[in-house]
Amino acid sequence: MNYDAMTREELIAYIESVRIDRSFDILKKESALVEWIVPDNTTIIFLDLASMHAANHKYGMDGVDQFIRNITKFIRKSDACAKFGGDEIVIMLQSESDGWAYMERLAQVMNDNNMYGTIACTKSIGGLQNTVKKLDSIVMQDKLESELDGSKANRHAVYICGESTLIYAV
C-alpha cells in the first residue's frame, strides 16, 4: 500500500478501517490499549461470550455476528467498548453507573439475542491492561469451576442459550 500517494481523507478512512473489528463493529484491543485513558477506580466490565463454537454451528457466523452487534448496540455511546479476543469484550463505563445493574441489563440483552457468557466487573487499578488481566483471571477461574462441576456446555454440544454468570470482583 502506498501511503504517500493517499489523500488525507483516504488515510483517515484506512486508519478507521484497521482500528475497528468489523464482525463486532467495535474497537479492536490494540486500538483501545493506545487510545483509552483509564484512571484508577474506573468501572471496567469484561464479557466472555460462551459456547461460540456451538452457536456458530447453530446460527452461522453471520447470524452470531449479528447477535453480537445487537448486544454492542446496547452499550451507551458515552461508554467505550472493544473486542479483546475472539469472544471477549471489554467495556469502560464513563459514568458512575452501578456496575452490577449494568451487568444485569447486559445479560438480559444477551439473552434476548440468544447469547450468554460470563460477565465480570471491577474498578480499574494500574491501567487497562492490568485490570483486564485481573478480570480475565477471574473469568477463567469461573469457567474452570463450571467445567469441573459439569455445568459448562461441551463445545460440540448443540447450542442452547444458557444463563449468564455475573461476577462483581473487588
Which residues are within 8 A (CB) of 152 and not within 5 positions of it... i.e. 6 or more apart? 50, 143, 146
pLDDT tens-place string over residues 28-63: 999 999 999 999 999 999 999 999 999 999 999 999
Q: Model's pTM, two decimal places?
A: 0.89
Domain presence at residue 10: no
**What value does the CA radius of gyration of the chain take, rounded to a whole number of Å?**
17
Strand-pairing partners, residue 49, are 117
Domain presence at residue 9: no
Measured distance CA(69)–CA(96) in Å, rounded = 25
Domain presence at residue 159: yes
Mean pLDDT of the chain: 91
Domain that residue 58 falls in: 23-168
CATH code for position 148? 3.30.70.270
Domain count across the chain: 1
Which residues are within 8 A (CB) of 77 and not within 5 positions of it... i.e. 6 or more apart? none
